[in-house]
């Protein structure tokens, strides 16, 4: 059974800092990995999708990397802003069994102005 | 274009009642997923449809939960004899194809269900 872990559970940084969020998964047989953002009381906004054959994806100040063999992904946020404050969720689509996404519990990010 | 929509946004019901939650996927998306999110946790898979059929319902917690997608578009999640433990945010997602083919899932805003 696929399990996804996100570290740290919560993070508080001053504005302008670069930061890294970590995600690990137990079964490396995945189709893809998605990073999402969730604001309080809201749904999920997809940030980046990395296919299993890819090593990284970039969108603006965000860069996500994938090391499938070691079961790890990182989300790098450059020059953080207060508007980046949210919960960031990592999810994988496993190559065996269930086709739906398996999520981590998220990292709650607070960027202090 | 329009994203995934879900109605109602909030639902408060008494223990033992029946509820229906609706999801309108992005037009043309063949795959539709239901997830449930408890406070402080990531979403957990319930069921997914490919077209009109439930391709995998292994995430449904028990037989009080049922979902349909009769015309391959709108889906309804039905919960019978609600219990307080059913209180959660129910999220719907759709994609242009199966996750195994690399398609991205797009999520709706969710329905917050509270069972009193």
What is the rounded distance in angstroms from the CA atom of residue A49 to the CA atom of residue A46? 8
| Residue range B89-94: mean pLDDT, rounded | 96
* Per-residue pLDDT at B92: 97
| Residue range B81-87: mean pLDDT, rounded | 97
Nearest residue on chain B to A9, judged by CA atoms?
B40
- pLDDT tens-place string over residues A45-55: 999 999 989 99
Higher pLDDT, B103 or A85: A85
- pLDDT tens-place string over residues A32-79: 999 999 998 888 999 999 998 999 999 999 999 999 999 999 999 999
* Per-residue pLDDT at B55: 84
Residue A100: closest CA among B8, B6, B67: B67
Residue B99 pLDDT > 70: no
Q: For residue B48, which phi and psi values (nearest 5 degrees)?
A: -135, 150
Out of A39-53, A75-89, B45-59, the most confident range is A75-89
Residue B77: closest CA among B107, B43, B42, B111: B111
What is the rounded distance in angstroms from the CA atom of residue A102 to the CA atom of residue A94? 8
Residue of B37, B43, B44 to mutate, interface with A, max A Cβ within 10 Å: B43
CB contacts < 8 Å between A and B, how many?
Answer: 72
- Taking CB atoms and an 8 Å limit, are A98 and B59 in contact across chains? yes
* Per-residue pLDDT at B2: 81
* Per-residue pLDDT at B60: 95
Distances (CA, A) of A25 to A1, A44, B105, B110: 10, 20, 19, 26
Residue B100 pLDDT > 60: no
Helix (H) or strand (E) holding B113: strand B111-115
Residues of A with CB under 8 A from a CB of B: 4, 31-32, 34, 36, 41-46, 49, 51, 89, 91, 93, 95, 98-106
Q: What is the dihedral of CA B31, A27, B61, A41, to 10 degrees?
A: -70
* Per-residue pLDDT at B115: 98
Q: Select the residue of A4, A31, A41 nearest B100 (Cβ to Cβ).
A: A31
Residues in chain B with CB shorter than 8 Å from the CB of A45 are 107
| Residue range B82-86: mean pLDDT, rounded | 97
Distances (CA, A) of B76 to A9, A104, B2, B19: 33, 26, 19, 10
Residues of B with CB under 8 A from a CB of A: 33, 35, 40-45, 48, 55-56, 58-59, 91, 93, 98-102, 104-110, 112
Contact B76, B92 (CB under 8 A): no
* Per-residue pLDDT at A98: 60
């Amino acid at each position: 059974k696929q399990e996804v872990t996100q570290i740290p559970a919560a993070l508080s940084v001053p504005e302008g800092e670069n930061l890294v969020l970590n995600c690990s998964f137990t079964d490396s047989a995945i189709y893809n990995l998605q990073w999402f953002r969730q604001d309080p009381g809201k749904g999920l906004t997809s940030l980046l999708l990395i296919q299993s054959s890819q090593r990284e994806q970039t969108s603006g100040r965000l860069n996500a990397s994938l090391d499938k063999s070691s079961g790890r992904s990182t989300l790098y946020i450059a020059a953080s802003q207060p508007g980046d404050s949210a919960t960031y969720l990592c999810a994988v689509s496993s190559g065996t069994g269930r086709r739906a996404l398996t999520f981590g519990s998220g990292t709650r990010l607070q960027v202090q102005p | 274009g329009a994203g995934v929509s879900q109605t109602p946004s909030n639902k408060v019901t008494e223990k033992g009642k029946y509820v229906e939650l609706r999801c309108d996927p992005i037009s043309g998306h063949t795959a539709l997923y239901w997830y449930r999110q408890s406070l402080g946790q990531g979403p957990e898979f319930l069921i997914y449809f490919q077209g009109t059929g439930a391709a995998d319902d292994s995430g449904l917690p028990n037989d009080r939960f049922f979902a349909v997608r009769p015309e391959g578009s709108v889906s309804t999640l039905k919960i019978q004899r609600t219990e307080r433990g059913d209180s959660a945010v129910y999220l719907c997602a759709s994609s242009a194809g199966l996750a195994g083919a690399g398609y991205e899932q797009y999520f709706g805003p969710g329905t917050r269900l509270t069972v009193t």
